[in-house]
Structure 1
Amino acid sequence: MSMSAVEPGARLSDRFLLEDRVHQAGGATLWKATDEVLARPVAVHTFSRDFERIDEVVTAARAAGRLTDSRLTQVFDAADDGDTAYVVTEWVTGESLIDLLAGGPLEPERAAGLVAEAAEALTHAHEAGLAHLMLTPDRLVWTGGGTVKVLGLGVDAALTGTTSDEPEAEDARGLGRLLYAALTGTWPGEEECGLPPAPTTEDGKPCPPRQVRAGIPGWLDSLTIRAVLQEPYKGHPALTTPAEIAAALAHVPRPMPVPAATPPAVPLPGESADGSVTRIGAPPGMRTTGVQPAPQFATAATPSSGGTSMSRALVIGIVAVVMIAVGLGAWTMGRNLAQPETPQAQAPTPTASKSAEPESLEVVKPVRARGFDPLGDRREHPEIAADAIDGKDSTDWHTDSYTSADFGRLKKGVGLLLDMGKSTRIANVVVSLGGPKGSSIELKVGDSDKLDALKTVAEKNNTSGKVTLTPSKEVSGRYVLIWFTRLPPFEGGFRGTIYDVVVHTPGSA
C-alpha cells in the first residue's frame, strides 16, 4: 500500500484498521484506528511521500516505545518500509490540563501532584536519552482511568522538527509552565495554548504565581518561578532538570484514582445528557471532542409526569419506617439498661475475639509480579506489572482492552501473578482496582505458576475500588494470582486495572 493511497478502511500490517481521520497537516495524518488483534482503539500517524521527517519520527517513536513508564504515551508500533510509514500509539481519552482549568485554577496541592507525576515520568525519559521539548497544557492529561499521562514524548518534537541544545532545561521550563498554568489558569509561555497569557512584570517576565492568585504556598511559588525562569529566586537555585523538579515535589500527595462507585445523576428535563470527552493524540494545539459513551451503570429511568407524586409518597414511607425503627431502638435500649448485667454479658464473645485478629497481620512483599495470560498470547503488559506492587497509587498494571466484559470471548480470564519467593501463609490480599464497578476477580494460591495448579480461595463479583480477598480457611503457597473473570468498562471498551496489591500473612502475635 502506498502512502498516497491511505484512506479510511485501510489496514496497516493486516492489523490496524484506519477509521476516522482526526487531523491532517504538513504531510502527516492522525487517525483513530482499531487494533484488530487486541480489539482496542489506537492512534495512528501516517505520512505522505513528501513528508521530510519520516526517519526522525519513526526513530523517536521506536525509542519512546522502549520506555515502560505508564505515565508516558505507549508506542505500540513504528515502521517505514519505503512504501508505507506509520506510528501506532495508545488512544488516550480524558481531561487535558486545558479542560481541568475550564472551571478555574486548580487547588495548589492538586496542581503540584499532577506536575510531580509528569516530572517523574520525564525524569525516566531523560535517563533513557529522550526529551519532550513541547510541553503544553494539552499534553498533560488526567485520563479516564484516573491517572496522569504525558502525551507526545519524542514524537511531537520530531513531527515539528523541534530541537534543543539543552533538552533537560527545556523540559524543566516546560514543567514549570505547566505548574504555573495549573496554579493560575494563565500561560507563561510564548506560544498560544488556549489559556490567557500570564501577567508580566516591568521587565517582561511572568509575575510570581502568588501575585496572580492568592493562597499559593510560598515554597510552591518559589519552585514555580525557579523552573519557569531557569534562574535563582529568593536565595534558592534554579531548577534546570526534570529530576530536580521531581525531587522538589517528591513530598506532595499524588492525585488518587477515583473509582466511579455511584451512578451519575439522571439529567433533569431540558438538560443535556451528553458529556464530552477530549480525545487525545493530535499534534499540540489541536483538540477534537466527541460524544462520551453512555455510562455503564444501571440507572433509574427518568420520571414521568406522575413520578413526582410517587417519589414524595416513597420518601414519606421511608421517613415513617425510620421513625418507627428509631422508636423501637430507643425502647429496646431503655429496657436493656433497666435490667442488671449478667455474667454472660461480661464474657468475651467470638466476634470480639475475631476483631482483634487483623492487628496481628503482617505485610509481606512479593519478590516480583508479571502479567498472566496463559489462555492467550501469554503476554499481558509484563512491562508494567511491577507498578502494581511498588506501593504507589499513581502507577498501575492493567490488562489489554477488550471489546466485551468477557474478554471478547477470546479467553476465560487474565490476571496479575505475584511470586512471593517461597511458600507463604496468606491471611488476605487487598487489591486497589481502577474503573467503575464491573470487575469480577478471584484470588488463587498455590506452589506452582501453572493456572490449573492454583486453587481459588476467595472471589468478589461486580466490584471496584479497594477490595479485600480473604480465604475462608488457612492457605499457603508461593504464588498468588489476582485473576480477572470479568472486566469493567474503560474508554469505550473493557479493561481491568490494578493500582496496588498488599499481601498480608498472619503475624506471630
Structure 2
Amino acid sequence: MTTRRTESLTGELAPGGAGEQFLLPGAVIGDGRYRLLAQFGVDERAGAHLWRARDNQLRRDVALTVLVGQASDAKRAADARRTLERAAHAARFAHPGMARVLDVLSLGNGVSPNEGLLGIVVADWSAGTDLVDLVAERPLPAATAARLLEPLAAAVERAHVAGLVLGVDHPQRIRVTPDGTLRLAFPAPLPEAVPRDDVKGLGAVLYLLLTGQWPLPGGPAAVASAPIAPDGSIAPPEALNPAIPHELSAVALRSLEDTSIGGIRTSATLLSVLDQAAESAEQTEFLRPVVPGTEDDEGPVWTTRPPARDRARRRKLAIGVTALAVATVGILAWIGMMLIDFFGDDSGGTGNTVVVSQPPPKDGETAPPRPKPAGPVKPAQVAEYNPEGSEDDEKDATNVTDGDPGTLWETDTYKQQFPALKPGVGIMASFADPVRFAAVTVESPSPGTVVEIRTAPSPTPTLEETKTIASATLSAGRTEIQLPNAEPSQYLIVWITKLGEGNESALAELGFVRAS
C-alpha cells in the first residue's frame, strides 16, 4: 500500500519546483541526518511535503514536514519562519492525538539554502494507515466516523486551552493509528492559522469520513471535492447519503459554516456535540435491521469477508442481545440510584453532605432564593488552572470528573500558605455552552480547604478577569456550594485560596448542577 501511494503522490508533484529535485526516496537532508523513505502527501498551501524518513543518528523512523521554497522569496520565507516557530511552540504539547514534535530545523540551523528548502519539522512516526486510504473504497459508518474523530478533537481542544493551534485542516497530515483513532501525524500549522481553522478542519475530516469528499479548499487532488451550491454553501453529508444521521451531518456542516449564522465556534463545543451525535448514531445503527444483500450485511469497514449466517450464529446473537438487555436494565437501575443519592434529602441521608449557603449581598438584605436544580451537567473539559506559577498536578486534573472518588487531583505541598508564593491554584471546567448553575459539589479529603467558585470569560483568563460568585470552607467528604446569584457562564473555576492541613489540598470529585 505504501509503495502504491508513494508513486501516485510523486506523480502529482510539479517537476522542477524549488527544492523538489532534492526530495526523492533515498535522498538525505537535514545536514545528512534524515534519509527520505516515502512521500505521504503535499500541502500545496504551505509548500509542505510530507515524508516518512529514517533518522540515521537515532536509527528510527520519523515524520518530516519539509517546507520547500527559495530564501529569496521574502513572503514564502517569512511564512516558513512563522510555521517553524509555531511548530516549535507545539513541541511542549503532548497528547495521543498528535505526533510529538522532536525537532525544528531552519535555514542555517540544519537546512542548507542551496537545497531550495526553508525548514523541516521532525515528529515521531505514526504507524497505521493514511486517512485518505481509509475512505478510498467507501465512507465509514456514521458512529465509527464519530468515534474515530473524538481523540483528534480532544487533542485540538487541549491545545486551544494551552494557546496553541495544531493545523488539522489537511487530510494527508492525518493518519489512522492501529488502535483505530485519528492522529495528527505531520504537525506544522499554517502561518496565519487560528483556532477556528482547527474547528473547520475537524468538521472537514468528519465530512470526509462520512462522504469520502473533502469540503475545504486546498485539498489533495486524489480526493474528490464536496459539492458546492450556487450560493457557495456546502452540500450537507445527509444529502449525499440519506443513511447518515441528521445530527452527525449537522455537526460536520455547522463546523464548516460561518459562526455568525449558527456555526460551531469552539473545539469544546464541537467535542461535546460530537459525543452526543456519536451516541445517537450508535443507537441508530444498533436498531437498524440488517437486510441480506445490502452493504450493511458486510460488517465493519475493515472486514473483508461477509460473516456466515447460520442457526448457531443467530442463536448466539439472540443470547447476546438478551444479555445486553439485562445489563442495560442493571445500568439504568444503578443510574437511578445514583440520581436519587445526588438529589435526595441531605438532612436524612448518610452521604455526609454539607450544604453551604452564600451570605446576603448587602447588610440587612434577604438572601435570594436557592435556584431549583434541573440536573447535573458534565463539562466538556477540565484542566488545572494555574495562571501564576508552575503546574501542581496537571496530568491528574481529569480525575475530578472520572466518577471515582478514590482518584485525586492534588496540590503541591507548600512551605507557606497562599498567597505567600502565589494567590492560589484550582480546576477550570469548560462547558459546551453557557450554563446557569444552581450549585457545585466538591468531594475532598482535605477539610479546612477554602475555595472560591469563579466564572471566567474565556478558556485562558488572567485571575483578574475572573469573577468570584461563591466561597466555602470544605468539610471532609462532600460539600455542596449553592450559587444563588450565578449568571450563565461557559467557564467555571474551583479556586483554592487556603490550603488544608499540612499546606496541601486534594480534590476527589467535582459535580455541577444546572439551574432550572
Give the TM-score, by structure 1 length. 0.42
Q: Which has the higher contact order (CA 8 A, sep 6+)?
A: 1
Give the TM-score, by structure 2 length. 0.41
